[in-house]
């Protein structure tokens, strides 16, 4: 039997204890949601959230595709994550932190409460941050990043985390788009034991005109940083004066909780807005269902808080359910490829969640490392961010999980807030490289974009979600039209516009879903979304570049690599090209960050364009993959350009 079709049924013993134990229970939940959608969500919203004031209605679709959930309900997300656990779990570890250099901290729920309340008071009293104000968080992976998020939630401020790998210019764009009042950052942090810096990027970003009034700087690596008097303040100095009691702001179900900027196929990154109740409900429910974390378990997700996975599955989800979450500043392959497995052994990790890229790197660099450690605590292994290839899946399953752990291949997006398609550990029979089935309550379907009908087994279609769900994106910050156009413009089912994820997918003969990748101009590099338009803009900013087109191509470790076709102004000159590549890479680093550096750059005489001037990216994708060109090129303005490009690549 081919590896792809083989069905694994690991962990029966564990399943007996799981929250959803078997496929019958799964089907019952799906049926409940299908027959009584609002009743289904009401069951969970009423029991999982500690409401300050109950809601009067579950779902309001009258302004679709803008939907509202749990109408009139009041709550505070920080009390969901902290205060309500203090009765039963005040001395339980909320966060276990391991720093890059091996330094450790264990923060109990009581300590978390103490730190978050003081942080909230600082923002409120010293920086005058009020409900609805935007706060940018540009931080390393240290506990203060989680305190900052929860402190914002406590006072009703809207946080927007910018991944620390983004450049000053990318940071500035986000600060300006969000019209932020405050930036929270750190001097820097450590990577592979060496200090690196963050504060200088903030200084540079704030040279532009912005609405930022104050910058709060957490000390992490102790390196010297510039200080702007009256704007910059030291967290470590100010925090000591603050009281550990800060009343939680009463927030409406639909008050915004955070913005997170993510790449789309066109234009600048968009500020994906998530609101309070629906988001925190689904973050908790999926934590419970998909990872099945038990009271004494230790859960570790290796993401960075700068991405949605870090938001939902390092901070909000685990803390909402009262779990112990591990936060790791370092690199899983440093000082050697056993670092991650050593941590699993040391902390007796029960659920481990990472990206296929990390699995491929760990596999390549340390195929036999897992065997050197006691990994018997592991029960569930998760993957996220990109399709996982069967060889990586198999190594993860057999060598890391000892053929006993369920692999949960979780498919979701920044916009979905939490998982939407995933196996349930122990219950769902699994297949390599397959996200399996929609979670109960999520009406995910693969549709034919032309007819809006569900596709048959083996046919490809568009991954859609046909009903609103509580954790869905509420809007694109400052641009309601873009929300409608980006997500509800492509597919109609029964005449109604439905949410389209941007991904292609197919069903197998068991109805299992395999995600095949983006259908738009978004590249998935190491599980990070990159818009080709953004990378093209950065390359075009070089004075010698006349035209550019960027596409993705398969990459052994990163999933996809970035491939740029560049047309230079003036004469082609080999000696100059090497310099040019360096300079263009510098531009990319400045405008976006290291994560957008191109894997390939080729200088070509022209780009394949239609007579109306549209670049035929499909052809460029095929060439980048080294495929035979099967597309009809006769409609091109200049068909000879294709062979000229191929010649450049071979050369």
Q: Residues 311, 394, 474, 518: which binds ligand WTA (CB under 6 A)?
A: 518
Please report whether residue 85 would count as binding ligand WTA according to CB under 6 A: no
Q: CA–CA separation, 18 vs 258, rounded Å? A: 31
- Beta sheet of 406-410, edge-to-edge order: 104-108, 93-98, 324-328, 298-301, 351-354, 380-384, 406-410
| Structure tokens given for 22 | 């078997």
Nearer to ligand WTA, 113 or 383 (CB): 383
SS3 state of residue 622: helix
Nearer to ligand WTA, 332 or 502 (CB): 502
Nearer to ligand WTA, 411 or 603 (CB): 411
Q: Residues 384, 545, 564, 584: which binds ligand WTA (CB under 6 A)?
A: 384
Task: Find the part of the chain contacting ligand WTA (CB under 6 A) among 37-45, 151-159, 381-389, 530-538.
Answer: 381-389
Nearer to ligand WTA, 330 or 502 (CB): 502
Which residue's CB comes closest to ligand WTA? 414
Please report whether residue 515 would count as binding ligand WTA according to CB under 6 A: yes
Nearer to ligand WTA, 435 or 465 (CB): 435
Please report whether residue 417 would count as binding ligand WTA according to CB under 6 A: no
Please report whether residue 502 would count as binding ligand WTA according to CB under 6 A: yes
Nearer to ligand WTA, 232 or 386 (CB): 386
Nearer to ligand WTA, 518 or 542 (CB): 518
* Contact between residue 41 and residue 448 where contact means Cβ atoms under 8 Å apart: no
Pairing, β 380-384 against β 351-354: parallel
Interface positions, 441-460, toward ligand WTA (CB under 6 A):
none
Q: Residues 99, 370, 385, 425: which binds ligand WTA (CB under 6 A)?
A: 385
Q: With the C-alpha atoms ordered 89, 91, 96, 99, is the resulting torsion angle positive or negative?
A: positive
Q: CA–CA separation, 451 vs 326, rounded Å? A: 46
Nearest approach, Cβ of 109 to ligand WTA (angstroms)? 27
Nearer to ligand WTA, 115 or 416 (CB): 416
In eight-state DSSP terms, residue 560 is E
Nearer to ligand WTA, 254 or 503 (CB): 503
Please report whether residue 154 would count as binding ligand WTA according to CB under 6 A: no
Please report whether residue 308 would count as binding ligand WTA according to CB under 6 A: yes
Please report whether residue 386 would count as binding ligand WTA according to CB under 6 A: yes
DSSP secondary structure string, 250-307?
Answer: -EETTSEEEEEEE--SSSS-EEEEEEHHHHHHHHHHHIIIII---TT-EEEE---TTS
Nearer to ligand WTA, 108 or 422 (CB): 422
Q: Residues 524, 532, 585, 622: which binds ligand WTA (CB under 6 A)?
A: 524
Q: What H or E segment, with its residue span, contains residue 484?
A: helix 480-488
Please report whether residue 410 would count as binding ligand WTA according to CB under 6 A: yes
Applying CB under 6 A, the site for ligand WTA has a residue count of 23
Q: Residues 173, 288, 409, 591: which binds ligand WTA (CB under 6 A)?
A: 409
**Of 131, 62, 42, nearest to 470 (Cα)?**
42
Task: Find the part of the chain contacting ligand WTA (CB under 6 A) among 54-62, 92-100, 214-222, 498-506.
Answer: 498-506
Please report whether residue 387 would count as binding ligand WTA according to CB under 6 A: yes
Q: Residues 67, 113, 262, 276: which binds ligand WTA (CB under 6 A)?
A: 262
* Contact between residue 302 and residue 354 where contact means Cβ atoms under 8 Å apart: yes
* Contact between residue 75 and residue 51 where contact means Cβ atoms under 8 Å apart: yes
Interface positions, 531-590, toward ligand WTA (CB under 6 A):
none
Q: Give me the residues paired with residue 107 across strands.
A: 95
Q: Distances in Å between the alpha carbon of 355 and those of 99, 301, 309, 337, 508?
A: 20, 9, 10, 15, 23
Q: Give me the residues paired with residue 134 across strands.
A: 158
Task: Find the part of the chain contacting ligand WTA (CB under 6 A) among 66-74, 233-241, 307-315, 619-627.
Answer: 307-315
Nearer to ligand WTA, 363 or 518 (CB): 518
Please report whether residue 412 would count as binding ligand WTA according to CB under 6 A: yes
Nearest approach, Cβ of 623 to ligand WTA (angstroms)? 23
Task: Find the part of the chain contacting ligand WTA (CB under 6 A) among 148-156, 304-312, 330-338, 624-632.
Answer: 304-312
φ, ψ of residue 390 to 5 degrees: the values are -50, -40
DSSP secondary structure string, 13-43?
Answer: HHHTTSSS-SHHHHHHHHHHHHH-HHHHHHH
DSSP secondary structure string, 75-142?
Answer: E-HHHHHTGGGHHHHTTSEEEEEE-TTS-EEEEEHHHHHHHHHHHHHIIIIIT---TT-EEEEE--SS
Please report whether residue 503 would count as binding ligand WTA according to CB under 6 A: yes
Q: CA–CA separation, 406 vs 595, rounded Å? A: 31
Nearer to ligand WTA, 235 or 487 (CB): 487
Show the CA angle centred on residue 584, arms to residues 176 and 568, nearest 5°.
115
625-631 contacts: CB < 8 A, separation 24 or more? 625/553, 625/554
Q: How many CB atoms lie within 10 A of CB 459?
A: 11
φ, ψ of residue 106 to 5 degrees: the values are -115, 120
Please report whether residue 270 would count as binding ligand WTA according to CB under 6 A: no
Q: Residues 109, 393, 411, 469: which binds ligand WTA (CB under 6 A)?
A: 411
Task: Find the part of the chain contacting ligand WTA (CB under 6 A) among 25-33, 395-403, 499-507, 570-578.
Answer: 499-507
Please report whether residue 519 would count as binding ligand WTA according to CB under 6 A: no
Q: CA–CA separation, 559 vs 260, rounded Å? A: 23
Nearer to ligand WTA, 255 or 503 (CB): 503
Nearer to ligand WTA, 244 or 466 (CB): 466
Nearest approach, Cβ of 272 to ligand WTA (angstroms)? 8
Please report whether residue 413 would count as binding ligand WTA according to CB under 6 A: yes
Please report whether residue 309 would count as binding ligand WTA according to CB under 6 A: yes
DSSP secondary structure string, 376-393?
Answer: TT--EEEEESSPPPHHHH
Please report whether residue 291 would count as binding ligand WTA according to CB under 6 A: no
| Structure tokens given for 562 | 């970035």
Please report whether residue 303 would count as binding ligand WTA according to CB under 6 A: no
Where do contacts with ligand WTA occur on this chain (CB under 6 A)?
262, 307-309, 384-387, 409-414, 435, 501-503, 515, 517-518, 524, 529
């Amino acid at each position: 039997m081919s590896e792809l079709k083989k069905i694994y049924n690991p962990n029966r013993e564990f399943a007996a204890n799981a929250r959803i134990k078997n496929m019958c229970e799964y089907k019952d939940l799906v049926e409940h949601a299908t027959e009584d959608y609002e009743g289904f969500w009401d069951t969970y919203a009423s029991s999982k959230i500690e409401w300050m004031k109950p809601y009067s209605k579950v779902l309001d679709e009258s302004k679709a595709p803008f939907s509202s959930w749990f109408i009139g309900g009041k709550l505070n997300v920080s009390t969901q994550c902290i205060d309500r656990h203090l009765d039963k779990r005040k001395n339980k570890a909320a966060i276990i932190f391991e720093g890059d250099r091996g330094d450790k901290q264990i923060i109990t729920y009581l300590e978390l409460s103490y730190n978050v309340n003081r942080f909230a008071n600082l923002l409120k009293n010293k920086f005058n941050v009020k409900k609805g104000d935007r706060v940018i968080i540009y931080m390393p992976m240290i506990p203060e990043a989680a305190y900052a998020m929860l402190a914002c939630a406590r006072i009703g401020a809207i946080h927007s985390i910018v991944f620390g790998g983004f450049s000053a210019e990318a940071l500035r764009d986000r600060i300006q788009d969000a019209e932020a009042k405050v930036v929270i950052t750190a001097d820097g942090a450590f990577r592979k034991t060496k200090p690196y810096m963050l504060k200088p990027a903030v200084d540079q970003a704030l040279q532009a005109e912005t609405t930022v009034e104050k910058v709060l700087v957490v000390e992490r690596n102790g390196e010297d940083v510039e200080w702007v008097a009256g704007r910059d303040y030291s967290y470590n100095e100010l925090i000591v004066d603050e009281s550990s009691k800060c009343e939680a702001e009463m927030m409406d179900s639909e008050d915004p909780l955070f913005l997170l900027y993510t790449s789309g196929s066109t234009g600048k990154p968009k500020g994906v807005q998530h609101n309070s109740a629906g988001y925190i409900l689904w973050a908790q429910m999926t934590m419970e269902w998909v990872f099945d974390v038990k009271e004494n378990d230790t859960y570790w997700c290796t993401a960075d808080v700068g991405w949605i996975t870090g938001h939902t599955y390092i901070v909000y989800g685990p803390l909402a359910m009262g779990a112990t979450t591990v936060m790791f500043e370092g690199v899983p392959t440093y000082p050697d490829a056993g670092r991650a497995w050593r941590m699993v052994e040391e902390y007796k990790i029960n659920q481990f969640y990472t990206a296929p890229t990390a699995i491929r790197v760990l596999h390549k660099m340390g195929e036999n490392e897992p065997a050197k450690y006691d990994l018997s605590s592991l029960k569930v292994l998760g993957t996220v961010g990109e399709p996982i290839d069967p060889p990586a899946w198999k190594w993860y399953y057999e060598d890391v999980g000892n053929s006993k752990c369920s692999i949960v291949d979780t498919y979701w997006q920044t916009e979905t807030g939490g998982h939407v398609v995933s196996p349930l550990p122990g219950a769902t029979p699994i297949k390599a490289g397959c996200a399996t089935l929609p979670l109960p309550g999520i009406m995910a379907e693969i549709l034919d974009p032309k007819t809006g009908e569900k596709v048959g087994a083996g046919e490809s279609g568009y991954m859609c979600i046909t009903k609103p769900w509580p954790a869905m994106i509420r809007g694109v910050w400052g641009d309601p039209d873009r929300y409608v156009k980006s997500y509800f413009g492509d597919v109609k089912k029964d005449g109604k516009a439905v949410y389209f994820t941007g991904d292609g997918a197919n069903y197998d003969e068991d109805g299992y879903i395999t995600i095949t990748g983006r259908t738009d101009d978004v590249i998935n590099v190491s599980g990070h979304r990159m818009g080709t338009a953004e990378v093209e803009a950065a390359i075009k900013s070089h004075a010698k570049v006349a035209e550019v087109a960027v596409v993705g191509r398969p990459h052994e470790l990163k999933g996809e690599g970035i491939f740029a076709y560049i047309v230079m102004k003036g004469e082609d000159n080999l000696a100059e090209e090497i310099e040019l590549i360096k300079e263009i890479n510098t531009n990319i680093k400045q405008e976006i960050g290291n994560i957008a550096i191109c894997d390939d750059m080729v200088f070509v005489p022209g780009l394949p364009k239609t007579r109306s001037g549209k670049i035929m990216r499909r052809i460029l994708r095929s060439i980048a993959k080294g495929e035979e060109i099967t597309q009809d090129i006769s409609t091109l303005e200049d068909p000879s350009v294709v062979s000229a490009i191929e010649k450049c690549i071979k050369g």
